[in-house]
Amino acid sequence: MSMAQAVSLPRILVSTDASKALSKQAASTRKPRTSISTKKRAKVSPSRRTQNLNLEVSPHRAVSAVRLMRIQFGGAFADLLNKKGKGSGDNEMGYVERTLGFRTKDLDDRDLRLVTDIVGGTIRWRRYLDHLICLLCHDEKTFSSMEPLLLQILRIGFYEIVKLDMPPYAVVDENVRLAKVALRPGAGNLVNGILRKLVLLKDNNSLPLPKLEGNDRAQARALATIYSHPVWMVRRWTKYLGQEEAIKLMVWNNSDPSFSLRANSRKGVTRADLVMQLNLLKVPHELSLHLDEFIRVKTGLQNVIQAGLLKEGLCAVQDESAGLVVAVVDPQPGQSIVDCCAAPGGKTLYMASCLSGQGLVYAIDINKGRLRILNETAKLHQVNSVIRTIHADLRTFADNSTVKCDKVLLDAPCSGLGVLSKRADLRWNRRLEDMEELKILQDELLDAASL
């Protein structure tokens, strides 16, 4: 494969509590994908919907509990659930009915914003929340053997009280009701007792935290609980960055993420047009300092989703860092460009929009399902005429390909540890062993891209 220019971007790998029970719960999250509902997915008739309707259960809590189950046991990704615009209305309530056996009242915009906040925050602070839950159970066995849905309900309640400062009486009442309806009365009683203990501790400013003392291993375990990260990450960052910088990094990872929107110029949408839409939606924003088509959004992404701006292809959620990569490639009309590890396709779509309908982007990826999504999005963004997807492993494809191109982009798979504020679930899905495996994979991909 003749490749006139190679732009390689393998991302840089950043060089006692109730730990036994927490370890058992953590181990359960690493099981292969399992179904969270044994009920067959079938269309629900209007009469049955009315029959299964429960108006007493908080809709955002029911949806949050089911989302957390899907993420932990169903292989779903927290960021995709929030950004693709699929987490709303009947679709979301359908998951609730199939999992819990009933529907609640429809979600309004406030409910959807709460779902996003609660799901992301509960995942982000999972280790810390589990530490508190385990201690308040007063029985390690009770915590480690707790059924998944009950644990998710408790996590939601703890997060709402400890991190969101919601009115305790409402949090206790609503989560107890959810546990009773979704599980059984005894589960509601357990939730009631544990949440009331938490409220007393918080009111007395006496929430238990592990002490930062002992040897390096003990301090790493304490920091992992306080800042809710895996122990191996804390030890790695402390080793290479020092404890003070490691703490700063974890604080950043736990902060509310900001997002960027890219105006889709291929549909004739300018940044000024997008600014006007955001003003109408009352979404706070600021212009990118580096890229003319990008706008930074700290809050209000759900408003953008609900308004249909993403679904209509008028804009895309895309990090400025990804946009800067495309700026380095500098796609020009008439050029042929190979995107070696293309899915999910953000940079592919942006490069294609720069071609003004002339040229071609070869989007290669090993994941057929993600390429299918890329194709669908390309049609939505009206750039499918200049994108050709290729389902292949670059390491074998490069040896036999006759594709001619002007430029090559390799954004190699990485650990993702630099985007933990946006990918709340990723910290729990990475292992120390992944780091070495990724280094080997990146080397092999770079060799293949340079052929």
Q: What HEC string does the chain produce?
A: CEECCEEECCCCCCCCCCHHHHHHHHHHCCCCCCCCCCCCCCCCCHHHHHHCECCCCCHHHHHHHHHHHHHHHCCCCHHHHHHCCCCCHHHHHHHHHHHHCCECCCCCHHHHHHHHHHHHHHHHCHHHHHHHHHHHHCCHHHHHCCCHHHHHHHHHHHHHHHCCCCCHHHHHHHHHHHHHHHCCHHHHHHHHHHHHHHHHHHHCCCCCCCCCCCCHHHHHHHHHHHCCCCHHHHHHHHHHHCHHHHHHHHHHHCCCCCEEEEECHHHCCCHHHHHHHHHHCCCCCEECCCCCCEEEECCCHHHHHHCCCCCCCCEEECCHHHHHHHHHHCCCCCCEEEECCCCCCHHHHHHHHHCCCCCEEEEEECCHHHHHHHHHHHHHCCCHHHEEEEECCHHHHHHHCCCEECEEEECCCCCCHHHCCCCCCHHHCCCHHHHHHHHHHHHHHHHHHCC
The domain spans of the chain are: 59-204, 216-254, 259-317, 326-450
Which CATH homologous superfamily contains domain 259-317?
Answer: Sun protein; domain 3 (3.30.70.1170)
Whole-number pLDDT of residue 94: 87
Whole-number pLDDT of residue 79: 56
CA angle 144, 150, 152 (to 5 degrees): 90
Instruction: Give the residue-averaged pLDDT of 386-409.
Output: 92
Residue 113 has pLDDT above 60, yes or no: yes
Burial grade of 349 (CB within 10 A; 0-12, 13-18, 19 or more): buried
Q: In the chain, pLDDT over 70 holds for what percent of residues?
A: 85
Task: Judge whether 319 is annotated as a binding position.
Answer: no
Q: What whole-number distance in Å separates Cα of residue 375 and Cα of residue 349? A: 10
Residue 409 has pLDDT above 80, yes or no: yes
Instruction: Give the residue-averaged pLDDT of 317-323.
Output: 95
Q: What is the pLDDT of residues 288-312, one digit of tens each?
A: 999 999 999 998 888 898 899 999 9
Whole-number pLDDT of residue 138: 80
When the pLDDT of each residue in the chain is averaged and rounded to a whole number, the result is 87
Residue 374 has pLDDT above 90, yes or no: yes
Residue 40 has pLDDT above 90, yes or no: no
Instruction: Give the residue-averaged pLDDT of 236-256.
Output: 96
Residue 439 has pLDDT above 80, yes or no: yes
Task: Judge whether 365 is annotated as a binding position.
Answer: yes
Task: Judge whether 256 is annotated as a binding position.
Answer: no
Residue 48 has pLDDT above 80, yes or no: no
SS percent in the chain: helix, strand, coil, step 5: 55, 10, 35
Within 10 angstroms of residue 118's Cβ, the number of other Cβ atoms is 24
Reported as a pLDDT band with limits 50, 70 and 90, residue 362 is very high
Task: Judge whether 121 is annotated as a binding position.
Answer: no
Instruction: Give the residue-averaged pLDDT of 216-220.
Output: 96
Task: Judge whether 94 is annotated as a binding position.
Answer: no
Residue 17 has pLDDT above 80, yes or no: no
Residue 319 has pLDDT above 50, yes or no: yes
Whole-number pLDDT of residue 438: 94
Task: Judge whether 424 is annotated as a binding position.
Answer: no
Residue 58 has pLDDT above 60, yes or no: yes
CATH: 3.20.20.140, 1.10.940.10, 1.20.1250.20, 1.10.760.10. Which one for 59-204?
A: 1.10.940.10
Task: Judge whether 345 is annotated as a binding position.
Answer: yes
Whole-number pLDDT of residue 259: 92
Whole-number pLDDT of residue 384: 97
Q: Is-contact 164 116, C-beta < 8 A? A: no
Q: What whole-number distance in Å separates Cα of residue 348 and Cα of residue 246? A: 34
Architecture per CATH, 326-450: 3-Layer(aba) Sandwich (3.40)
Instruction: Give the residue-averaged pLDDT of 37-42.
Output: 40
Residue 184 has pLDDT above 50, yes or no: yes
More confident residue, 90 or 49: 90
Instruction: Give the residue-averaged pLDDT of 100-115.
Output: 89
Spell out where 109-183 has E strands.
none
More confident residue, 25 or 92: 92
pTM for the predicted model, two decimal places? 0.82
Q: What whole-number distance in Å separates Cα of residue 236 and Cα of residue 243? A: 10
Q: 296 has which bridge partners?
A: 260, 286
Q: Is-contact 314 384, C-beta < 8 A? A: no
Q: What whole-number distance in Å separates Cα of residue 387 and Cα of residue 348? A: 8
Q: What whole-number distance in Å separates Cα of residue 244 and Cα of residue 227? A: 13
Whole-number pLDDT of residue 403: 85
Reported as a pLDDT band with limits 50, 70 and 90, residue 44 is very low
Q: 172: which 2 tokens?
A: 């206790």
Task: Judge whether 393 is annotated as a binding position.
Answer: yes
Q: In one letter, which amino acid is 239?
A: K
Residue 71 has pLDDT above 60, yes or no: yes
Q: Is-contact 254 228, C-beta < 8 A? A: yes
Q: In the chain, pLDDT over 90 holds for what percent of residues?
A: 72
Whole-number pLDDT of residue 78: 60
More confident residue, 368 or 82: 368
Residue 45 has pLDDT above 60, yes or no: no
Instruction: Give the residue-averaged pLDDT of 233-250.
Output: 97
Domain pair 59-204 / 326-450, same fold:
no
Whole-number pLDDT of residue 15: 31
Ranges 45-54, 262-271, 380-389: which has the least confidence: 45-54
* Cis-peptide, bond into residue 344, ω within 30° of zero: yes
Whole-number pLDDT of residue 442: 95
